Structure 1
Amino acid sequence: MSPQLLGLLIGSGFGTAFVLANAGEPLPEGAGVAMRILAVVCLAAVVVVGFRGDRRGGTGRGDARPGWFGPRFGLVVVAEFALIFGGIAVLRALDAPQEINVAWIALIVGLHFVVLARVWKRGAIAVPGIVLSGLGAAGMIMAAGSSVEWIPFVSGALSGVTLLAGSLYGAARR
C-alpha cells in the first residue's frame, strides 16, 4: 500500500467517523440518516478506487518520497494530539459547552493538514485543512452565541464531508 493511499484511507475513515457521530439533531432525522449513508458509501468508494489505483501502479507523482511518515510527520501528529487533548481539558476547565469539543478538534485537525502540506510539499493537502480550520473556528464562534446545538453539524459533520470529499478526490486522481 502506498503512503498516499494510507493517508486517503485515514482521512476518509476519520471523515466517516465525523459524519456518523455528528449528523444528528438538530438536523431532521431523514437528513442525518442520508448523510450517514452517503458517508459510508463515500468511504467504500475511496477504498475501492484507491486500491484499484495502487494495483495499477498509480501511486502518483512523488509518492516514493522518503520519510513520508518519518520524524517530521511524527512531530506534527504528537503536537496535534497534545493540542487536541490539552485544549479539551482547558475548555472543560473553563466550563465551555461540550459541543465545542468537536469545533476544537476540527480546528486542530485542519491546522495539522496545513502543516503537513508544507512538510510533504503537497499544497493540495492544505485545501481541506483550511476548510476544516474554518469550520472549527466557526463552531468556536457559535459557542459564544446561541447556536451551540448546531456546532456538531457545522464543525463535525461538515468537517467529515470535507475529509471524505478530499479523500475521494485524491483517490480518483490516482
Structure 2
Amino acid sequence: MAGISKKDIIDRFPSNLNILVIDTDIEVLEFIEKTYKGSHQVIICTESSRAVDLLLRKEIDIHLIIMELHMPMMDGYEFLEFLNKEEMDVPLIIMSEKKEAFQDTKLCIMKAIELGACYNWVKPLTEGYLRTFWVPMLRHYENWHIRKNIERSETSYGSEFSSHREADDD
C-alpha cells in the first residue's frame, strides 16, 4: 500500500477507541464490555436498528463495530449494505456461532467479507479474540484505501474516455 503505512493507520486512532457491539446475547455483550473496560469505550446494542440510529446521528465517532451476523430484523449482511450505502468507513468484525450442523458457515462468512466485513470471530469468544482487533482494523483500512483508489481511477478513466469519445464524434 503506497503512501500510507500500518503505523500511520494505527496513529490515526485515539488510544481509547469507541467500539460498537451489536448482539442479542447479553452474556456476549457483557463479556466484551468487561474485557475492554478501562482501555476502550464499549457501546452496546441489542438491536441492529438502534445501532443504525446511533451511526446516523453521528454523535459518537465509532472506530470499530463488532456484530453478530445472524441478528433478527436486520442481519449482518443488511448492516454491511447499510454501511456501504452510507459510505461509512468503519471496520466491522462479524461474530458467528460454531455449529457442526451449519454446513454453509464458510459461505456465510465469505459473503460477509465480500460485503466489507474485515474479520470473523467464532463464538464462544475468548479474551484472545478480543485482543486481536488491530489486525482486522488494519486490513479494513488497507482494503478501504485500495477500493477508494480503484474507484477514483475508474471514475477518472470513465470521464476521460467519454470526453475522448465526444471529441471523436465531432
TM-score range relative to shorter protein: under 0.3
Query: Quick check: which one's helix share is greater?
Result: 1
In the superposition, the TM-score normalised over structure 1's length comes to 0.26
Could you tell me the TM-score, scaled by structure 2's length? Answer: 0.27
Larger CA Rg, structure 1 vs 2: 2
Higher strand share: 2
